[in-house]
Structures are given as C-alpha cells and as structure tokens.
C-alpha cells in the first residue's frame, strides 16, 4: 500500500530534468535553423541588397546603442558561464556572434587583427616556460623536501607547523607562480601533518589557502606577466612592485597564526621535544634548499637586473629546474614527459582564453564600450579613490564566477585606461601615487585583489582546490570559515597598499629610477 502511494506521488511530480532537456533541444534546434537560414543568405543572396531568405541575422543589432549592447553582450556571457560552458570558447564564440550580428560577414575580418598581435608578443612565451619550471620542480619532489626543512626548523613553536606552511608556500610561490598547484600540493603535504598534531582546523586550512595563493602576487607570477602584456607595463617593474606586498601579506599570516597559538597553545601544539632537532642538524638540513633557492635568485636576479628578458629568464629557469632535479637524484624521463604534457595543457588553456577574450572585449571597445564605461563610472561623481574602491569590489565579484585569466582579459583592458586618467593625491595626508606609476600601482592592487577572490566564499577557487584533498570529515562550511580571517588580513594588506603606495613603488623606483 505504501509503495503504491509512493509511486503515485513520484509519477505526479514535475520532472525538471526532462524540462531542461527539452529546453536545450529546442534551443539547439532553433540555433541550427538560424545558422542554416543565414548560410543560405550568404551563398545565394547579395548582402548589400534587401532580398533574403526568411530572415537575415547579419546586422540585426546594428541599430542598438552601446548601452543596450552592453547589457546584451555581458548578460549573454553571464548566462553561458552559469550553464557551465568553458570560458575560452564562450568568449571567443560570443565575440564572433556579436561581430556578425552588429555588422556582417566582412566585419569578421577584425578577428585576425585581434589575435595576431597577441601571437607576436614575445612576453607571452615566458608563460609556458615558467609553468614547465613549476611542473618540473613539483614532479622532482623538491617541494616535499622544502616543506620538510621548514617544518623541522619551526615545528618547535606553538603554531609552528602553520607558520612553516605559510613560509614554505612563500618560497614555493617564488618557484612556481601557479596557484592551484601550490594549494593542492601544500594540502597534500602539510594538512595531514597539522591534523596529526591536533591543530585547529580553521588555522590549518586557512594557512594553506592563504599561503598557497601567494603565487598570484610573488614573482614569477604568471598573472603578472599577463597583466603586463594587457596593460603594456614592464614585467620587471611589476615583479619588483609585488615583492614587498607579497612579503607583507606572508608576514601578516605568520604573525597571526603564531600570535593565536601563543595565546591558546591548543590551537597549534608544538611538536614534542624528543622530535626536535639540534641547531647543527637544522643547519645541515639547509643543504636541501641551496640548489632550489639559487635557481630562484638566479632567475629573478637576471630579470630584475635587466640582464635577461622575461622569456630568457624563464628559459634559464626551465633548464635550471631540470639540473636541480638531477642534482637531487629525482630526474626521470617519465617526470619530464609528465611536466611537458601538463605545461602544454595549461598553456593551451591560457592562450585560448586570451584569444577568445581579446575578440569579445576588443569588439566591445571598438563599438564604443570603453567610452561608455568610462563615462558611466565618472558620472557617478565618486572621487578617484571611490572609483578605485568600486573597481576593487567589481573584481572581487567577478572573482566569484570567473577564473583569473578571464577576469584579467575582460576587466583590465577597460579599467586601466580609466585609472590612468585619474589622479591619486593620497588619503589622510599620506603620500600620493606618482603619475607615471599609477598603472603599476593598480596592477599590484589587482594582483592582491585576485588573491582575495581565490579564497572568497562561496565560489573562490582555492576553497575547492583544498576541498579536493581534505579528509571527508572536514566540511565545506569549515573551509569557508577558515578563509574568512585570512580574507580579512588580505583586505588589511590591500588597504595598506592603497594608503601607502610606496610599498608598491619603492623597489621599482629604486631599481629603474
């Protein structure tokens, strides 16, 4: 009897999955029909005459003003991304569609003109080389060795393991520049060690996420290279400008976990005395860090000293990573193959997003989108710092839905010209931002902001990277809570960089004048 009632109830339910299936089928059929009709128009009818078959989609949006076009273009982009479609193909595909809907088939010729300049930009060649350097070091097992050294040095302190995780992540950021790899790797290595010692979950998880995302900011950040290319800035200057903010954030994280564990030792117990090493043993352990650190300082030194271009420095780093793996007895042809394949996949993803977004945003700017956005923002009556705050909020919101490459290519080409047109005279009597350093300063603020977006609940990427390597008993709510205090520390760091622009501009001015 109960079974019959249950079956009758189930048959009476509205099956939403079937509804969505039919919606997708109808949408696909409608789109296919429109494409077929337009192909007939292209083949059999003159585009400059009024005759056409059934209807003509070319030029349908030609009379739409930029305000309406903005809502249609970005609204369609948002819906497509919410459906789970890949960003690279969504931006490029929608860019081509809107070029055709606003113009005609001859207007599609602007697409190669958007892509080819990107392909000839030499700085982009540094991206696959730095990714390969990171992949090689990771597969050679050098990251585990580095954490082991730092862990044994700092494990005797209350909260020492969490501090060691942040410090190791800082060193790791200077080696890899790839965010996901750092969070996952430290989650696999450091999290079990902290949980075994009875660490507070929020301190353990937060230190991994906050430390792991330092790769966005600390050189050789892949995101910094992309920003420099899009904003036409010097990669060397941007790298120098991000060093002090990166060290500042790392120091704040370490101070926080040590202070809280000092106040309440149960949050981060020190390792037992019998497991601690003597000073001599610790010094001997440092030998394991010599080769990787020499590699890092060589690559960044050549770049900062103007001796090598970013591509040349990245090439030296890639070769050096192989040499370091050999020195540590960790080199293998299998590891080299895996590093090469992962580099090709990551580089292809980045380049496809670059090409797709450059078509979408480039067309929008050509239609007057840049002037429209500028006029809209300036008409709000906000001060320069108010506009900056508005942009930072928009970037955090975008970070909840898009990946870091997509945000860069969609927002930065529009935001940077606006920022360059503003004057920042300083707040509360503090120093102003030099006029020639505004784009550089905004670039570092953008990098800090992207670090914030990575651990911002509910959609921050680092939250889900870490979830993938956490034990099942740790809930997603715990991961969210652990991110909040470190998100607050990042906000403090961002405010300090806004109020004291010298944190960003000091080293570039010292080195480059």
Q: What is the model's pLDDT at position 10?
A: 47
Q: What is the model's pLDDT at position 104?
A: 63
Q: How far apart are CA 406 and CA 398, in angstroms?
A: 9
Q: Is the Cβ–Cβ distance between 91 and 131 less than 8 Å?
A: no
Q: How far apart are CA 306 and CA 395, in angstroms?
A: 32
What six digits make up the tokens of 267? 């949050």
Q: Is the Cβ–Cβ distance between 450 and 399 less than 8 Å?
A: yes
pTM: predicted TM-score of the whole model, two decimal places? 0.77
Q: How far apart are CA 93 and CA 102, in angstroms?
A: 14
CB atoms under 10 Å from CB of 302, counted, come to: 17
Closest CA to 412 of 135, 227, 254: 227
Q: Which long-range contacts (CB under 8 A, 24 or more apart) does 384-387 make?
A: 384/422, 384/423, 384/424, 384/425, 385/424, 385/427, 385/498, 387/418, 387/422
Q: How far apart are CA 300 and CA 137, in angstroms?
A: 16
Closest CA to 212 of 269, 162, 149: 162
Q: What is the model's pLDDT at position 11?
A: 47
In this structure, what DSSP letter does residue 405 have?
H
Q: Is the Cβ–Cβ distance between 219 and 174 less than 8 Å?
A: yes
Where the chain has pLDDT below 70, the residues are 1-17, 20, 38, 41-59, 84, 104-108, 114, 117-118, 141, 155, 176-181, 400-401, 403, 459, 513
Output phi, psi for 141, to 5 deg: 80, 15
């Amino acid at each position: 009897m109960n079974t019959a009632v249950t079956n009758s109830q189930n048959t009476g339910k509205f099956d939403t999955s079937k509804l969505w299936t039919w919606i997708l089928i109808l949408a696909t059929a409608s789109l296919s029909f429109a494409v077929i009709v337009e192909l007939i128009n292209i083949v059999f009818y003159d585009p400059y005459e009024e005759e056409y078959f059934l209807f003509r989609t070319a030029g349908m949006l030609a009379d739409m003003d930029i305000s309406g076009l903005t809502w249609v273009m970005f609204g369609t982009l948002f819906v497509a991304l919410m459906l789970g479609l890949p960003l690279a193909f969504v931006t490029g595909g929608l860019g081509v569609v809107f070029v055709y809907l606003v113009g005609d088939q001859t207007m599609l010729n602007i697409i190669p003109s958007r892509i080819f300049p990107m392909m000839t930009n030499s700085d982009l060649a540094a991206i696959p080389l730095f990714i390969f350097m990171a992949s090689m070091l990771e597969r050679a097992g050098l990251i585990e060795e580095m954490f082991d050294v730092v862990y044994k040095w700092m494990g005797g302190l209350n909260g020492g393991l969490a501090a060691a995780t942040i410090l190791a992540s800082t060193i790791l950021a200077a080696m890899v520049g790839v965010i996901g790899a750092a969070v996952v790797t430290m989650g696999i290595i450091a999290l079990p060690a902290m949980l075994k010692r009875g660490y507070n979950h929020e301190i353990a998880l937060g230190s991994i996420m906050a430390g792991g995302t330092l790769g966005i900011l600390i050189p050789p950040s892949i995101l910094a290279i992309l920003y420099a290319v899009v904003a036409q800035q010097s990669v060397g200057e941007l790298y120098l400008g991000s060093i002090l903010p990166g060290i500042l954030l790392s120091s704040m994280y370490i101070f926080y976990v040590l202070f809280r564990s000092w106040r309440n030792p149960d949050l981060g117990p020190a390792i037992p005395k019998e497991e601690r090493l003597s000073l001599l043993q610790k010094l001997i352990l440092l030998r394991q860090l010599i080769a990787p650190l020499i590699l890092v300082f060589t690559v960044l030194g050549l770049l900062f000293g103007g001796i090598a271009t970013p591509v040349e420095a990245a090439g030296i780093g890639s070769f050096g990573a192989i040499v370091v793996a050999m020195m540590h007895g960790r080199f293998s042809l299998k590891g080299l193959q895996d590093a090469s394949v992962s580099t090709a996949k990551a580089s292809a993803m980045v380049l496809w997003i670059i090409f797709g977004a450059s078509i979408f945003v480039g067309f929008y700017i050509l239609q007057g989108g840049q002037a429209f956005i500028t006029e809209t923002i300036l008409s709000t009556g906000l001060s320069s710092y108010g506009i900056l705050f508005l942009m930072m909020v928009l970037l955090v919101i975008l970070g909840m839905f898009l990946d870091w490459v997509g945000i860069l290519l969609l927002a930065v080409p529009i935001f940077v010209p606006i920022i360059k047109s503003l004057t920042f005279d300083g707040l509360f009597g503090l120093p102003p931002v030099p006029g020639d350093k505004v784009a550089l300063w905004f670039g570092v603020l953008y990098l800090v902001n992207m670090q914030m977006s990575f651990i911002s609940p509910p959609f921050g990427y680092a939250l889900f990277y870490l979830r993938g390597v956490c034990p099942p008993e740790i809930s997603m709510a715990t991961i969210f809570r652990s991110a909040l205090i470190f998100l607050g520390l990042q906000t403090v760091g961002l405010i300090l960089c806004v109020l004291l622009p010298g944190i960003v501009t000091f080293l570039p001015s010292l080195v480059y004048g």
